[in-house]
Structure 1
Amino acid sequence: MGESTVGGTRPPVTDPFDAVPELAPLHTAAWDGDWEATQAFFKKIPSTVDVSFAAALLAGVERTEWFLEKAAKAQPTDPLPRTLLAERYIHLGWRARGHARGEDVPWDRAEQCHDWLRKAELLLIEVCAEHPEYVPAWTARLATARGLALGQSEARRRYDRLAEHHPHHFRAQSHLLQQLCPQWGGSWEAAHGFAQECANAAPDGSLAGVLVAEAHIEHFSDLGDAEATEYLRNLSVRDELRRAAHASVLHPDHRRDWYWTGSHSTFALAFSLGGHLEDAARHFTALGDTASESFWRYLPNWKTRFTQLRTAALATL
């Protein structure tokens, strides 16, 4: 696929199923509650990174737990239906919790979240015991470890088990990066160190460089307004972001995958908030009318801010 053109001030397309046409059959199968078609879609995916990404998208389709529960009962030895069901439970758990910091989450919402995550964890424990090499299940267990507050050591243990089979699994790395942030008991030194470690070890053109931008955005979001603005304007941060972008999504060896809106959106946000609009412009150009809300939602009225910052960045070209 070639790069998209930008549609002026139109709000961005945020649904990944619309942004990536290859995912349309999965959305149709999920919406219809068609397990056979869903299973067929996943069986054709060659990469465990893409399996985990598609599993997360499927988890966001409403009411999928009904047919996934039936599939898990009908195929009790297959790790796929239980893992997909666990991802759906995880999605329901995090949705119940909301986006507030831990101390600001109401007690009843926290309990709802933990109930869903415990259901997911029980499924995933079974899958990982029966299929210790099944990376999508270990990836999902990084999300339950964080949500159930199982701690840094347990999260790292799970990641290490996964990395034995797939050392550059982007979604798993992104999960662990979240765990390493101070909000979840880590530190900025640990979070930035892990992101750089992954980026340095990964092949050129991989997604690992996006982790560097994720770490800086998380750090930015933890600071007060004035301090946050200065943080991303720092030239050393800008240079780190540039190196990460050029080693990943801007590298000649990079091949656009299903996560392309997320990767370019993350870099576009980090560069824009730091006032590095010429750098941001390359990522906005790649995005066209699409965007991923995963980190942009940290901004109030983020769709309006997206179009404003996109316009400002593209004016530098």
Structure 2
Amino acid sequence: MGESTVGGGTPLVTDPFDAEPGLAPLRTAAWDGDWAATRAFFEEVSSPADVSFAAALLAGVDRTEWYLEKAAKAEPADPLPRTLLAERYIHLGWRARGRGPGEEVSRDQAELFHDWLRKAELLLIEVCAEHPAYVPAWTARLETARGLVLGQSEARRRYDRLAEHHPHHFRAQSHLLQQLCPKWGGSWEAAHGFAQECTNAAPDGSLAGVLVAQAHIEHCVDLSSAKVTEYLRDVAVRNDLRHAARISVLHPQHRPGWHRIDGHSTFALAFSLGGHLEDAARHFTALGDSASESFWRYLPDWKTRFTEYRTAAPATV
């Protein structure tokens, strides 16, 4: 699970639980349906951004809703079990919908998707009302806002409430960036503008610069395949990516954490597609044999493409 041998080489590690040893206790607790061990894991996580990251991972572990539902009932005043359960419902909703464009989603898929998201939203409304500064719940509500098509202003309102308490929350920013893309009712001006806004406001070494690469990759998805390379080869786009990488994941003050694989993978993709293999090489080196599928999955047979680009990149350095 989480590994794939591509091209006869070293296995590519794509499961964060395998790539980050510190996350292993959470997966074990989830497999065992052990709420006490799950709680103990999250009690050791100090950053709200890391809580949200781990919550999203836990949501992807099969059948966890059973023990999280019990925990939410047993501890009704605690925001953590309800937020984790909501994240699981959100995951189940997206699984039911599928990741394709809206026109490919059937009516039955859409109904089931919205059913799961409404269940999550009800839990999160309670949590945010009782604990208005609980950032992980507000983060999850950005995803329900998007899936339930509540609109740009409502998504921004939720983000602003979150940012009052944690202004540089990477997962929340990434969620709002998705909302600001045209496919969810936004515009490229809004999406790129938000990415730059977050990057400019964040301290050097933060993850915010990764949003710049995310915005450019999302923009490419809107283009014909023939236009993607042209777009990413543009000198202004290349320089934008270089600057964003330099002040974020490549900055001396950057402290690699659980988001490191997502960050470096995103830059590696953007630079590779643009033919900037020397720039991509630094990110492939940082990744080693690990990779995140989050944006690479836009490519057919992405693991093979990842390995091909990674093999080509060092020759230019």
TM range (shorter): over 0.9
Alignment-derived partner of residue 178 in structure 2: 178
The 1-side partners of 2:255 and 2:43 are apart by: 22
Please tell me whether the aligned partners of residues 11 and 304 of structure 1 are also in contact (alpha carbons under 8 angstroms): no
The 2-side partners of 1:290 and 1:271 are apart by: 17
Unaligned runs of 5+ in 2: 1-6
Root-mean-square deviation over aligned CA pairs: 1.0
Answering whether residue 239 of structure 2 is matched by residue 239 of structure 1, we say yes
Q: Deviation per CA, 1:93-115: give whole Å up to 9, x if none.
A: 01111111112211111111111
Alignment-derived partner of residue 256 in structure 1: 256
Report % sequence identity. Answer: 80
The 1-side partners of 2:228 and 2:11 are apart by: 26
Shift of 1:178: 0.1
The 2-side partners of 1:67 and 1:157 are apart by: 32
Shift of 1:284: 0.2
The 2-side partners of 1:20 and 1:236 are apart by: 35
Q: Deviation per CA, 1:10-55: give whole Å up to 9, x if none.
A: 3421000010000000110011000000001101111000000000
Alignment-derived partner of residue 169 in structure 1: 169
Answering whether residue 216 of structure 2 is matched by residue 216 of structure 1, we say yes
Alignment-derived partner of residue 278 in structure 1: 278
> What is the identity, as a one-letter code, of the residue corresponding to 1:250?
L
Whose relative contact order is higher, 1 or 2, with alpha carbons under 8 Å and at least 6 apart?
Answer: 1
Answering whether residue 47 of structure 2 is matched by residue 47 of structure 1, we say yes
Q: 1:107-256 alignment to 2 at 5 Å?
A: 107-256=107-256
Q: Deviation per CA, 1:252-306: give whole Å up to 9, x if none.
A: 0001101111000000000000000000000000001000000000000000000
Shift of 1:9: 3.7
> What is the identity, as a one-letter code, of the residue corresponding to 1:85?
L
> What is the identity, as a one-letter code, of the residue corresponding to 1:133?
A
- Greater mean alpha carbon deviation, residues 201-210 or residues 307-316: 307-316
The 1-side partners of 2:259 and 2:104 are apart by: 31
The 2-side partners of 1:50 and 1:200 are apart by: 22
> What is the identity, as a one-letter code, of the residue corresponding to 2:16?
P
Q: For this pair of structures, how many residues does the alignment match?
A: 311
Alignment partner of 2:167: what SS? coil
Answering whether residue 88 of structure 2 is matched by residue 88 of structure 1, we say yes
Please tell me whether the aligned partners of residues 264 and 283 of structure 2 are also in contact (alpha carbons under 8 angstroms): yes
Please tell me whether the aligned partners of residues 266 and 295 of structure 2 are also in contact (alpha carbons under 8 angstroms): yes
The 2-side partners of 1:41 and 1:109 are apart by: 34
Please tell me whether the aligned partners of residues 228 and 273 of structure 2 are also in contact (alpha carbons under 8 angstroms): no
Alignment-derived partner of residue 63 in structure 1: 63
Answering whether residue 303 of structure 2 is matched by residue 303 of structure 1, we say yes
The 2-side partners of 1:16 and 1:224 are apart by: 31
Alignment partner of 2:250: what SS? coil
Please tell me whether the aligned partners of residues 11 and 303 of structure 1 are also in contact (alpha carbons under 8 angstroms): no
Shift of 1:56: 0.3
- Greater mean alpha carbon deviation, residues 70-79 or residues 219-228: 219-228
Unaligned runs of 5+ in 1: 1-6
**Residues 1:273 and 1:237: Cα distance change in structure 2 (over 3 Å):** same
Shift of 1:8: 8.3
Please tell me whether the aligned partners of residues 142 and 158 of structure 2 are also in contact (alpha carbons under 8 angstroms): yes
Alignment partner of 2:300: what SS? coil
User: Runs of 4+ in structure 1 displaced over 2 angstroms?
Assistant: 7-11
Shift of 1:78: 0.1
The 2-side partners of 1:223 and 1:9 are apart by: 33
Q: Deviation per CA, 1:192-240: give whole Å up to 9, x if none.
A: 0000000000000000000000000000111001112211111100000
Alignment-derived partner of residue 4 in structure 1: none
> What is the identity, as a one-letter code, of the residue corresponding to 1:134?
Y
> What is the identity, as a one-letter code, of the residue corresponding to 2:83?
T
TM-score after normalising by structure 1: 0.97
TM-score after normalising by structure 2: 0.97
> What is the identity, as a one-letter code, of the residue corresponding to 1:174?
S
Please tell me whether the aligned partners of residues 69 and 85 of structure 1 are also in contact (alpha carbons under 8 angstroms): yes
